[in-house]
Amino acid sequence: MPSTGFIREFYLDAPPGIVMGLLSESRLITDWSKAEAVIEKKVGGKISLFDGWVEGELQLINDNQLAYTWKPSSWPEEIPASYVEFNLEARGKGTRIVLEHTRFPNSKEMEDHRSGWSDQFFELIEKYLE
């Protein structure tokens, strides 16, 4: 089955160092999402977001990039994890985030996640930064 995925761009009114913390620090993610989050910040480290709704493994982390596997608990066990990558770029006083989410099992999951990144992720971070 061919890989399905999308690329989305977001902008946050904070410098890349702050944004990376909001994407990769367990305590900060728990604060803005109001749900338990664990990110072991090393390649191969465990990822657990939104009270365990998503599990994964850290694939890449540096000052401007973060990537991990992403598997919601609602997906059947035989479905492999999808892949999420964030690329950060300073833009004025803020940060442009290019999000690439690939390897979805089907187009419905892909479309659900496309809107979910706005509604359930970046909008919450924007409110947290206000």
Q: Please report the domains of the chain, with CATH numbers, ordered by start residue.
A: 5-129 (3.30.530.20)
**What are the tens digits of pLDDT across the range 70-128?**
999 999 999 999 999 999 999 999 999 999 999 999 999 999 999 999 999 999 999 99
DSSP the chain: ----EEEEEEEESS-HHHHHHHHH-HHHHHHHHSS--EE--STT-EEEETTTTEEEEEEEESSSEEEEEEEETTS-TTSPPEEEEEEEEEETTEEEEEEEEE--SSHHHHHHHHHHHIIIIIHHHHHHH-
Predicted TM-score (pTM) of the model is: 0.93
